């Protein structure tokens, strides 16, 4: 069986939802993972922020605006009044729930319930559409099988057994529809896999059911060799290896949630990226093998914070780095890049939730310097096969860019450099011009 995931734009209107129905109904049984309709998650987060900030009146206005959008979609999507009526009951219930959070205490727990409504609504609307058109469809509630543990890591064993039980107990159907992004935590509360998490849901389901292929359907024809939001002349890549795709996704390529590749790679399940607006295009195929050698693509991850700990006295001492890393471990804060010198260690983090506490604890080891608003630029390819001169090509291309850190040799697939966020776009463009498009 295949798992197909459709992102927000792919189901962003009644017309697009019908297009998705056409794509999936080829007679082959499949699992279909849907995001929220485009704009909905942002709107729900905005509503949450307003309630949390004590602006329930403003939140109420935003709820009304969103409700109107769903009223229109309900009108446009269905052919029969009977289906519209059924859908209206669900939409009304959802918006009553959202209004029930107004003028009350509001914490992370409530926010997660609010943002989950986007995927709950889109899948319900789509399931009604499928049923109205006579397709045998089952809606599998992701909250009944998608699980994260106390460290917010996904619990693959639990997902596998819960999903298999759920599918065994569901009526036989051709099309299984489920929500991306949402899950439950060990407390049994509604939680999520972070922004863009529906891609990750799809590969987790793929791994759980030993799928033949995981397809990520979006609004572009595949993985490009640079970020098309910032750079002109990007090109689609036909084939990437799991390792190359994982590095690019982890270091900021928005087309894939950073963790999407891991479950697929463990079980060697091909991941294909496809364009909902151009379904005949072959897209990008991600497997164990890659086509060609050399530099394949670049990506950027912004919002990075660099931390330097300077300690002439202790750096050479045995166990010094361990003590530094333990501080980050205590605050569950992953480190992305690291470089050392005789007197200092520099590292970068993405999650700054505990930065103040980390800063305080690091002061015990020496002087601490913190630089915010940095970007990691990640250059990916088969660096070993690129032979000698790879690093010099990269640094030649980066001439004139203020590089704050370099990481080379951590894997054979990636060189990363840290630059100020204000130089992100120009760095991506210069790499495009001088490294990626030289033979174009």
Nearer to ligand ASP, 24 or 435 (CB): 24
The pattern of x and - marking residues 279 through 318 that bind ligand ADP according to CB under 6 A reads --------------------x-------------------
**DSSP-derived 3-state class of residue 388:** coil
The sign of the dihedral angle between the CA atoms of 71, 74, 79, 85 is negative
Q: Does 228 bind ligand ADP (CB under 6 A)?
A: yes
- For 300-327, b where at least 16 C-beta lie within 10 A, e where not — what string? bbeebbbbbbebeeebeeeebeeebeeb
The pattern of x and - marking residues 94 through 123 that bind ligand ASP according to CB under 6 A reads ------------------------x-----
Q: Does 196 bind Mg ion (CB under 5 A)?
A: yes
Least distance from ligand ADP to the Cβ atom of residue 254, Å = 4
Q: Which does 197 bind (CB under 5 to 8 A by kind): ligand ADP, Mg ion, ligand ASP, none?
A: ligand ASP
Q: Tell me whether residue 124 is exposed, middle or buried, using C-beta atoms within 10 angstroms of its C-beta: 0 to 12, 13 to 18, 19 or more.
A: buried
Residue 199, C-beta contacts closer than 8 angstroms, at least 6 positions apart: 5, 7, 180, 216, 256, 257, 260
Q: Tell me whether residue 196 is exposed, middle or buried, using C-beta atoms within 10 angstroms of its C-beta: 0 to 12, 13 to 18, 19 or more.
A: buried
* 115 half-sphere exposure, CB direction, 13 A CA radius: 24
Tokens of 175: 């099309």
Q: Does 223 bind ligand ADP (CB under 6 A)?
A: yes
DSSP lists the bridge partners of residue 274 as 217
Q: Does 8 bind ligand ASP (CB under 6 A)?
A: yes
* 265 half-sphere exposure, CB direction, 13 A CA radius: 16
Residues 188-207 that bind ligand ADP (CB under 6 A): 196
Indicate which single residue of 72, 109, 229, 313 sits in contact with ligand ADP (rule: CB under 6 A). Answer: 229
Q: Does 381 bind ligand ASP (CB under 6 A)?
A: no
Q: Which does 177 bind (CB under 5 to 8 A by kind): ligand ASP, Mg ion, ligand ADP, none?
A: none
Nearer to ligand ADP, 274 or 308 (CB): 274
Closest by CA position to 219, among listed 7, 13, 20, 35:
7
Least distance from Mg ion to the Cβ atom of residue 35, Å = 7
What are the residues binding ligand ADP (CB under 6 A)?
Answer: 7-10, 35, 196, 218-220, 223-224, 227-229, 253-255, 299
What are the residues binding ligand ASP (CB under 6 A)?
Answer: 7-8, 35-36, 41, 118, 180-181, 195-198
């Amino acid at each position: 069986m295949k798992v197909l995931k459709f992102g927000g734009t792919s189901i962003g209107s009644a017309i697009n939802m019908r297009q998705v129905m056409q794509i999936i109904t080829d007679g082959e049984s499949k699992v279909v993972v849907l995001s929220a309709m485009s704009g909905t998650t942002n709107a729900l987060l905005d509503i949450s922020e307003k309630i949390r900030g004590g602006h329930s009146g403003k939140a109420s206005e935003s709820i009304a605006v969103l409700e109107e959008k769903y009223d229109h979609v309900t009108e446009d999507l269905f052919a029969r009044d009977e289906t519209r009526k059924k859908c209206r009951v669900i939409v009304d219930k959802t918006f009553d729930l959202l209004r029930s959070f107004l003028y009350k205490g509001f914490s992370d727990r409530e926010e997660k319930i609010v943002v989950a409504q986007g995927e709950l609504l889109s899948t319900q609307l789509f399931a009604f559409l499928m049923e109205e058109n006579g397709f045998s469809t089952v809606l599998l509630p992701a909250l009944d099988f998608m699980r994260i543990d106390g460290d917010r890591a996904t619990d693959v064993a639990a997902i596998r057994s819960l999903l298999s039980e759920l599918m065994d107990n569901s009526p036989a159907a051709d099309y299984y529809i489920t929500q991306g992004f949402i899950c439950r935590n060990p407390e049994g509360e509604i939680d999520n896999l972070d922004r863009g998490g529906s891609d990750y849901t799809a590969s987790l389901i793929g791994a759980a059911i030993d799928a033949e292929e995981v397809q990520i359907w979006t609004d572009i024809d595949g993985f490009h060799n640079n970020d098309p939001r910032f750079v002109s002349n990007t090109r689609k890549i036909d084939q990437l290896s799991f390792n190359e795709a994982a590095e690019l996704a982890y270091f900021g390529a928005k087309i894939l949630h950073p963790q999407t590749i891991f479950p697929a790679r463990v079980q060697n399940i091909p991941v294909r990226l496809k364009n909902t607006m151009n379904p005949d295009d072959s897209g990008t195929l991600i497997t164990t093998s890659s086509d060609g050698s050399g530099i394949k693509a670049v990506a950027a991850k912004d919002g990075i914070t660099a931390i330097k700990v300077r300690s002439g006295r202790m750096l050479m001492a045995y166990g010094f780095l361990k003590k530094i890393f333990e501080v980050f471990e205590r605050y569950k804060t992953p480190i992305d890049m690291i470089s050392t010198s005789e007197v200092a260690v520099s590292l970068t983090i993405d999650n700054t939730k505990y930065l103040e506490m980390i800063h305080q604890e690091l002061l015990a080891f020496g002087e601490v310097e913190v630089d915010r608003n940095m970007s990691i630029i990640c250059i990916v390819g088969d660096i070993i096969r690129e032979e000698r001169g790879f690093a010099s090509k990269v640094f030649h291309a980066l001439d004139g860019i203020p590089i704050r850190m370099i990481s080379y040799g951590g894997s054979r697939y990636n060189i990363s450099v840290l630059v100020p966020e204000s130089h992100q776009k120009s760095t991506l463009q210069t790499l495009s011009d001088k490294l990626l498009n030289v033979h174009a």
